[in-house]
Amino acid sequence: MKQWYFIHTYSGHENKVVESLWARVRDLELSEQITSILLPKEKVVEMRGNKEHVSERMFYPGYVLVEVDCDDKGKIPDNVFHAIKSTPKVTGFLGGKTPTPLTQAEVDQIVHNIEVATEKPKPKFTYEVGEVVRIKSGPFASFTGKVEEINEDKATLKVSITIFGRSTPYELTFLEVEKVTFAEEE
């Protein structure tokens, strides 16, 4: 019976833990017991100067997912438990000495989140309603406006801009605008 578990790692060392775990699986011939190791990440887009910069961010900093083939009682075999726990930079299982496996629904949700993040990188921006932004491209480039609505899922903003003395709502992506600092407004 295969079960997924979270293991806790030193924050910032997740990639190294994944490498070390795969090396231990190979060296200790545990490929039958440890069947998958997953490090959920998402791509994040941010603007630096006038260029888009894509980086990766962990969904669960300090954690790695491991799929283990458990015994008939749903318990992790001792040799597998100790092999994982003694991996450098691993502090233990989520749940301690009696780790709790994730439910299938939780695993499905994590896999779904990874797939969605792979298809569409998430902008690394935070905007607030009422905030002033400048449009960077398109027919209204260099216009400023106030954020009226924020749609985090679509990464869009509804910005109210003044055209010919009239306030007009305009939908833009997070990448099409930039925040205006107070010094710029004056």
Residues 84 and 150 reside in one and the same domain: no
Decide if 174 contacts 123 (C-beta within 8 A). Answer: yes
Residues 19 and 81 reside in one and the same domain: yes
Classify burial at 111, counting beta carbons within 10 Å of its beta carbon; exposed 0-12, middle 13-18, buried 19 or more: middle
Residues 79 and 170 reside in one and the same domain: no
Q: Can you say how many angstroms the Cα of residue 23 is from the centroid of all Cα atoms in its chain?
A: 25
Residues 38 and 78 reside in one and the same domain: yes
Say how many CA atoms lie within 13 Å of 67 toward its Cβ: 13
| Residue found by looking up tokens 């726990």 in the block | 85
Residue range of the domain that includes 141: 132-185
Residues 111 and 141 reside in one and the same domain: no
Instruction: Note the pLDDT of residue 123.
Output: 62
Beta strands in 49-184 (DSSP E): 51-58, 63-69, 90-93, 122-123, 132-135, 144-151, 156-163, 166-173, 177-179
Q: What is the strand order of the sheet 132-135 is part of?
A: 166-173, 156-163, 144-151, 132-135, 177-179
Task: Quote the number of domains for the chain.
Answer: 2
Q: Coil, strand or helix: which one is 110?
A: helix
- How do the pLDDT tens digits run along the chain, 186 residues long? 899 999 999 989 999 999 999 999 999 999 999 999 999 887 777 666 666 777 788 888 999 999 999 988 888 999 999 999 999 999 999 888 889 899 999 988 888 887 777 766 566 667 888 889 888 888 888 889 999 998 877 778 899 998 888 888 889 888 788 888 765 454
| Residue found by looking up tokens 């962990």 in the block | 58
pTM as predicted: 0.64
Q: For position 162, which CATH number holds?
A: 2.30.30.30
Nearest to 175 by CA among 136, 130, 128, 147: 136
List Cα–Cα distances, 143 to 58, 160, 161, 162, in angstroms.
Answer: 35, 10, 7, 8
Longest dimension (CA), the chain: 74
